[in-house]
């Protein structure tokens, strides 16, 4: 099974922590990501929330999503119409929150990807390949463990639990 996601790269830097994605003081008022998205990335990219378009793909460097484990930092990205984040590395809590909500975390070298580049993510049995249509480069991403792919393919942990009623006895 292969699927493809295509979109415009929205370039961020390194160590974009969850408070920068959405300030924890913002979630005092609501947890609704469709409200919170108006403050998406306000600290590092003040124009982001007004310029983001559905199918944009976040592209970052090291340690994307470090800091607090707050999950609104994932749901607010999804609410903005973003389906995948490509980064050199993720914090472990952001990585698992992404999987659990159906946001695809792609880990690979992002040095070649610039703001606005049209990129395509090909998800298949052999892993994830990132094609940069702007430069023609092809980057192999780190493969995801099969169990995390199952959760992603279900659309996140909620649909996974609804379908399976619990975790498997043994995961892979």
Partner 1 sequence: MTTGDSMHRGGSESTRGPSLGRTVSEGILGAHAGVDARAGDIVVCRADLILGTDGSTPMAIQYFEAMGGKAVPDPERVLLARDHYSPPTSPSTRRFHARMESFAAEYGVELLPVGGGISFQVAMETGRVIPGDLVVGADSHTVTCGAMGAFATGIGSADLAAALLTGKVWLKVPESMRVVLDGELPRGVGAKDVALEVVREVGSDGAAYRAIEFVGPAADALPLEERMVLSNMSAEMGAKAGIFPVESDPAAHFADELRVDCSALNPLVALPHQPANGVPVTDVVGTPIDWVFLGTCAGGRAHDFRDALEALDAGGGIAADVTMVVTPPSPRVRAALEADGTLRRLAAHGAVITETGCGPCCGTSDPVPPPDARIISTANRNFRARMGEASAAIHLASPATCAAAATAGRIVDPREVV
Nearer to partner 1, 103 or 123 (CB): 103
Contact 69, 97 (CB under 8 A): yes
Based on the shown chain and the rule CB under 8 A, indicate whether residue 43 belongs to the binding site for partner 1.
yes
Structure token pair of residue 81 = 């119409």
Based on the shown chain and the rule CB under 8 A, indicate whether residue 129 belongs to the binding site for partner 1.
no
Nearer to partner 1, 66 or 121 (CB): 66
Using CB under 8 A as the binding rule, the residues of this chain from 91 to 110 that contact partner 1 are: 91-93, 96-97, 100-101
Torsion-angle region of 141 (φ positive above 0: left; ψ -120 to 50: alpha; else: beta): beta
Which one of 3, 6, 13, 30 is in contact with partner 1 (CB under 8 A)? Answer: 30
Based on the shown chain and the rule CB under 8 A, indicate whether residue 170 belongs to the binding site for partner 1.
yes
For helices 72-79 and 92-101, angle between their N-to-C axes, nearest 10 degrees:
50
Q: Which stretch binds partner 1 (CB under 8 A): 50-58, 86-94, 117-125, 130-138?
A: 86-94
The whole-angstrom separation of Cα 90 and Cα 15 is 9
């Amino acid at each position: 099974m292969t699927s493809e996601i295509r979109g415009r790269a929205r370039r961020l830097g390194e160590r974009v922590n969850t408070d920068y994605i959405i300030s924890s003081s913002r979630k005092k008022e609501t947890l609704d990501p469709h409200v919170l998205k108006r403050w998406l990335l306000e600290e590092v990219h003040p124009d982001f929330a007004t310029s983001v378009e559905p199918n944009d793909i976040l592209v970052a460097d090291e340690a994307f999503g470090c800091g607090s484990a707050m999950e609104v930092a994932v749901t607010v990205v999804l609410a903005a119409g973003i389906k995948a984040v490509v980064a050199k590395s993720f914090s472990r809590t952001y990585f698992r929150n992404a999987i659990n909500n159906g946001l695809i975390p792609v880990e690979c070298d992002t040095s070649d990807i610039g703001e606005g580049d049209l990129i395509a993510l090909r998800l298949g049995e052999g892993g994830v390949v990132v094609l940069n249509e702007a430069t023609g480069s092809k980057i192999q991403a780190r493969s995801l463990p099969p169990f995390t792919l199952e959760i992603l393919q279900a659309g996140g942990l909620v649909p996974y639990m609804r379908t399976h009623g619990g975790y498997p006895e043994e995961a892979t």
